[in-house]
């Protein structure tokens, strides 16, 4: 595996009604839902790893530590950034942040583990 510390990716999202806490069953307000923020951060980590893993390998999420700091309205654009902070064997630890035009929306870490895709899927229960 050759993934260099510092590898980074950015993902943008225009918030729609389907992205809200209300739509996702994660609250009763029509603002960007925390589950969607987590998914956006994970998408950024996956994009950062694109073309860095050998054939037959993938990464799976194993830990998310995230502080969701500010509400974001439908129609606003958010930008998730993932930067590989360090590696620990097969474990990849990313710093993640989500911002909008007003500033920081969420920040934290996402840990992914590199696995053999077929072996991993074969272990699913």
CATH number of the domain to which 69 belongs: 3.10.129.10
By DSSP bridging, strand 8-14 and strand 103-116 are unpaired
Q: What is the pLDDT of residue 1?
A: 60
Matching residue, tokens 């995230």: 66
Structural domain for 42, as ranges = 8-122
1 in any annotated domain? no
Residue 38 has pLDDT above 80, yes or no: yes
The structural domain count of the chain equals 1
Confidence of residue 2 (pLDDT cuts 50, 70, 90): confident
- CA 17, 18, 19, 21 torsion-angle sign: positive
In a domain, 2, yes or no: no
Q: Is residue 49 part of a domain?
A: yes
Domain membership flag for residue 36: yes
Domain assignment present for residue 3? The answer is: no
pLDDT in tens, 110-123: 999 999 999 999 99
Sheet architecture: strand order including 8-14: 8-14, 77-88, 91-100, 103-116, 57-68
113 inside domain: yes
Here the tokens at position 112 are 């992914």
Query: To the nearest 10°, the Cα dihedral for 43, 108, 113, 52?
Result: 50
Instruction: Give tens-digit pLDDT for 57-111.
Output: 999 999 999 999 999 999 999 999 999 999 999 999 999 999 999 999 999 999 9
């Amino acid at each position: 595996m050759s993934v260099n510390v510092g590898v980074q990716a950015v993902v943008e999202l225009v918030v729609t009604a389907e992205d809200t806490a209300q739509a996702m069953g994660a609250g009763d307000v029509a603002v960007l839902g925390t589950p969607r923020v987590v998914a956006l951060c994970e998408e950024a980590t996956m994009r950062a790893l694109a073309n860095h893993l050998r054939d037959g390998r993938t990464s799976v999420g194993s830990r998310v530590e995230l502080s969701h700091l500010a509400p974001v309205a439908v129609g606003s654009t958010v930008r998730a950034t993932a930067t590989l902070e360090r590696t620990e064997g097969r474990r990849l630890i990313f710093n993640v942040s989500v911002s909008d035009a007003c500033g920081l929306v969420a920040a934290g870490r996402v840990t992914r583990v590199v696995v053999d895709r077929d072996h991993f899927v074969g272990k699913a229960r």
